[in-house]
Structure 1
Amino acid sequence: MKINKPAKAGTLESNDILIMVMPNDKDGIELELESVVMKQFGKQIKKTILDKVNELGVKSAVIKAQDKGALDYTIKARVETALRRAL
């Protein structure tokens, strides 16, 4: 999958996550995460995002995530939606 344009999915409501995806001039995935539960679950949120990105075969993208306590299935759904919108 090649990211062609900026796209986003999700909201800043409680128990949701806003995922913004942009093309990256360089190879690789750049992930920026802000979360209200960063100390407790920051590593797990990053892993969930990157696992979904890898599953979809994206090799280059800038991803910005603003988490408000979303569960894993919500994170996966938002990441997939944003990536598909960016194609």
Structure 2
Amino acid sequence: MTINKPSKAGTLESNDIYIMLMPSEDGIKIDLESIVEDQFGEDIREVIAKKLEEMGVTSITVKATDKGALDYTIRARVEAAVSRGL
């Protein structure tokens, strides 16, 4: 699946995550800024990468700003952003 245009989903509210996707040709790159980066940064990146792989996205640049979102919220925001970018 190819993302044709920049897209975004989510908010900067507490317990949410703001996901911005930009087309890329260099695989999956995740730039994460999180209030819980030290504790959960790797887990958040893994959730984002797995959801992208499930959806068939192989090349994308992700800018994620996390405010303490749970896994199901992260997956939903990634899915919404991918759908908007098609």
Q: TM-score band, normalised by the shorter chain?
A: over 0.9
- 1:56 partnered with 2:55: yes
Partner residue, 1:82: 81
TM-score by length of 2: 0.98
- Measured against aligned partners, the alpha-carbon deviations of 1:12-40 in whole angstroms (never above 9, x if no partner) come to 0000000000101x230111000000001
Structure 2 residue runs without a partner (length 5+): none
What is the total number of aligned residue pairs between the two structures? 86
Structure 1 residue runs without a partner (length 5+): none
TM-score by length of 1: 0.97
What is the letter of the counterpart of residue 50 of structure 1?
A
Return structure 1 stretches of 4+ with deviation > 2 angstroms: none
Alignment of 1:3-22 (within 5 A): 3-22=3-22
- Measured against aligned partners, the alpha-carbon deviations of 1:37-81 in whole angstroms (never above 9, x if no partner) come to 000100100000000000000011111000000000000000000
